[in-house]
Amino acid sequence: MSRHEEDNEPGSPACLMHEFAAELLPRPGGQGPDWPAVQAFRKAKRIELLERRRALDVDDRKRCAQALTERLLGTVDLRPFAVLGFYWPIRGELDLRGIARGHIEAGGAAGLPVVVAKNEPVEFWSWQPATEMQRGFWNIPVPHERRCVTPDVLVIPLVGYDAAGYRLGYGGGFYDRTLAALTPRPFCIGVGFDDSQLDTIHPQPHDIPMDVIVTERRALHFER
């Protein structure tokens, strides 16, 4: 696995969060970190990163969303992908719905993730700007009508991320289960704030890395 980085702001400060490095207890036999310890580590970092994100004011969040949108569209050509899976922003996430609207205007289709059952992959329901919406899991708006689509490319929100391309999410495992179930696997673009990088999330076998991670400052490409 390798990566290369695009950074159009060479003067940007480094955003590595070295203070988050953690020594996790290995399992017997030296088979890697103990899963309960990894869960505790991720929970602590998730809380800290979400609190930091919520503290960002609306104007700064909008500026970051605009910068990230421009960088994503300049990094990944979405036109070859017929169906774009994206997300409805919650809990201080960057609002990138303009990317979905632009994809539709260019002749593509878009879908939103919908939780249909506990511990199961999500479905993606067709969305357009005029789509009637209803409240779904976590009160996240989802399309009122169930018209399933299969995404060719996914824009996936990150709470945190690491240099190997692994994402820290909300802990529900919905995206990991979904990506494991989709064949072929869609091209995955993780998006989030640049300063949410961790040294590592201590990835486990069920964790699925991104193909690209885009922040407001840079794009990280990973070759699988």
| pLDDT band for position 11 (cuts 50, 70, 90) | very low
Q: Measured between alpha carbons, how far is 210 from 157 in angstroms, rounded to an integer?
A: 11
Place of tokens 């969303």: 65
pLDDT given at position 175:
94
In this model, does residue 28 exceed pLDDT 70? Answer: no
Beta carbons within 10 angstroms of residue 137's beta carbon: 14
Taking CA atoms, 218 is separated from 27, 35, 188, 199, in Å, by: 36, 31, 16, 17
Supply 145's token pair. 């009508």
In this model, does residue 2 exceed pLDDT 50? Answer: no
Tens digit of each residue's pLDDT (9 = 90 or more) over 76-115: 999 999 999 999 999 899 999 999 999 999 999 999 999 9
In this model, does residue 30 exceed pLDDT 80? Answer: no
Place of tokens 């193909």: 211
Which whole number is the average pLDDT over 144-165?
97
Q: Which residues are registered as beta bridge partners of 145? A: none
Question: Which residues are CB-neighbours of 66 under 8 A, at least 6 positions away?
Answer: none
* Residue (of 191, 199, 159) closest to 76 by Cα position: 191
pLDDT given at position 34:
85
* Residue (of 214, 218, 169) closest to 191 by Cα position: 214
Average pLDDT value for the chain: 88
Break the chain into its structural domains and give their ranges.
28-223
Supply 164's token pair. 């190997």
* Residue (of 70, 122, 79, 126) closest to 98 by Cα position: 70
CATH classification code of 28-223: 3.40.50.10420
Which whole number is the average pLDDT over 1-16?
42
* Region of poorest pLDDT, from 61-65, 70-74, 140-144, 172-176: 172-176
